[in-house]
Amino acid sequence: HSSRLSHLSFFFLSFFLSFFPVCWGANGIYAQKLLNDLFRNYTSALRPVEDTEDILNVTLQITLSQIIDMDERNQILSAYLWIRQVWIDKYLTWDKDNYDGLDTIRIPGSYVWRPDIVLYNSADDHFTSTMDTNVVIRHDGQIMWDAPAITKSSCKVDVSFFPFDAQQCRLTYGSWTYNGNQLDILNAMESADLADLVDNVEWEVLGMPAKRNVILYGCCADPYPDVTYTLKLKRRASFYVFNLLIPCVMISFLAPLGFYLPADSGEKVSLGVTVMLALTVFQLLVAEIMPPSENVPLIGKYYIATMTMITASTALTIFIMNIHHCGPEAKPVPNWAKKFILQYLARICFVYEVGENCMTSQRPRLQSSQDGYRDHDGGLKAQCKCEQQHLMRNIEYVANCYRDQRATAKRTGEWKKVAKVLDRFFMWLFFIMVFFMSLLIMGKAI
């Protein structure tokens, strides 16, 4: 009895194993039969419509996968896209019941007619299009063609607010040879699909809305529809703030300190020239990135304003050093300068020690008496001997020389005090200018 059961089990197992390959290969047989039946009299050269007057609708959907590069200088956007095109082919329909319930097949795209939808604003020098992938055909004639593509499109870049700028790049898709009376393009969604987007380190994607347009070109009387995707980008400015902006701000605050240096140190002009050269290097770095357009970027305006300020501070430093090193032949300080600079301006600039000696009146020069002495009656009497007169002349000469020297030193000291007050005044003035300029450009980042 047990041997009979074992023989029966072996029979059923052998029958099942022999029947399984037949069932497994049935779909392949029906797919081959379906492929032969569909393409027996099919041609991929003609538009798949029953009447030539019919309009073939193509639904377009774009999925943005990655932003590869944004070349601001050449104004080219490189992006990795997934492009889906769906249309109805009237000649590729079948009854799925006649083919064992087979409702879809996947075949090479070159077997079927495909719309010649291209990127109008392409900037690729090799004219590469989408990858030649398979198409999915349903039993009702719907064809879905999904193909990845790396596109290079022209993008008008506005760098007026660099590095706090936002860009809008348009990707326009349309048929190259078919007009709107033969092929119509519809957008599948109101915007591109951003679910699988890979984050970019430099750009933040704000959205990618889609809009269908119908344009009449001057060459042709027929309308040409297209779908335009507007990619909205915002630059991540952290890299440029830490590498271009903050060093410039720090260097700019060194320029007013040139007024604080002592005039006798001989480094006042050297500091201004060194700061100017440092800013020139940063200006060249920005110029290499930006396109050569009339729109000057915000950071470029900041550099130019700072360099102009440093040029003015260097010129004023040279002027103040001239005042500081006035020689003995210099004229006395005018009264208006004594009152305005050494009195009022010194207090405003917190320089209190320069106004004390400047307000003292100048001592009158003693007159020499070469005619002798007058007595109480007003008459002149020559009562000195020749030796006493000679000695008196020598003493008066020495006293006059000493008075002249003190007067010259006093004039020179007053001019030095004027130069010191002007140094402090321009130092605070330029500090305020640098602060407000830095505050203005940093406010753009908020």
> In this predicted model, what pLDDT tens digit does every residue of 66-90 receive, in sequence order?
999 999 888 999 999 999 999 999 9
307 with 279: CB under 8 angstroms? Answer: yes
Structural domain for 434, as ranges: 240-341+401-445
Per-residue tokens: 216: 């009449």
Whether 14 shows a pLDDT value over 70: the answer reads: no
- Indicate if 147 and 287 belong to the same structural domain: no
pLDDT of residue 342: 78
189-198, 200-209, 380-389, 410-419: segment of lowest average pLDDT: 380-389
Residue 174: left if φ>0, alpha if ψ -120 to 50, beta else—which one? beta
- Indicate if 153 and 286 belong to the same structural domain: no
What is the distance between the alpha carbons of residues 143 and 220, in angstroms, rounded to a whole number?
30
What is the distance between the alpha carbons of residues 198 and 7, in angstroms, rounded to a whole number?
62
Q: Which of 168, 165, 299, 181 is nearest to 242 (CA)?
A: 299
- Indicate if 199 and 82 belong to the same structural domain: yes
- Report yes or no on 218 lying in a domain: yes
- Indicate if 73 and 168 belong to the same structural domain: yes
Residues in the chain: 446
What is the distance between the alpha carbons of residues 182 and 175, in angstroms, rounded to a whole number?
10
- Indicate if 273 and 410 belong to the same structural domain: yes
What is the distance between the alpha carbons of residues 385 and 372, in angstroms, rounded to a whole number?
11
- Indicate if 254 and 226 belong to the same structural domain: no
With b meaning 16 or more CB within 10 Å and e meaning fewer, what string describes 268-286?
beebbebbbebbeebbeeb
Residue 211, number of CB atoms within 10 A of its CB: 14
- Indicate if 227 and 271 belong to the same structural domain: no
CATH number at 102 reads: 2.70.170.10
pLDDT of residue 211: 95
- Indicate if 231 and 183 belong to the same structural domain: yes
Domain end point (choices 213, 235, 257): 235
Band of pLDDT at residue 327, cut at 50, 70 and 90 = low
Per-residue tokens: 113: 């007619």
- Indicate if 199 and 250 belong to the same structural domain: no
- Indicate if 129 and 204 belong to the same structural domain: yes
CATH number at 436 reads: 1.20.58.390
CA 441 to chain centre: 13
- Report yes or no on 95 lying in a domain: yes
Band of pLDDT at residue 330, cut at 50, 70 and 90 = low
Kindly state the average pLDDT of the residues 25-35.
76
Kindly state the average pLDDT of the residues 109-120.
92
Judged on CB neighbours under 10 Å (0-12, 13-18, 19+), 288 is exposed
Q: Which among 85-94, 381-390, 396-405 has the top mean pLDDT?
A: 85-94
Q: pLDDT for 273-290, tens place per residue?
A: 888 898 888 888 888 888
Average pLDDT of the chain to the nearest whole number: 80
pLDDT of residue 354: 54
Determine the 3-state secondary structure of 228 from DSSP. Answer: strand
Q: What is the pTM for the complete model shown?
A: 0.72
Number of domains forming the structure of the chain: 2
Cis peptide before 256 (omega within 30 of 0): no
List CB contacts of 425: < 8 A, sequence separation 6 or more: 345, 348, 349
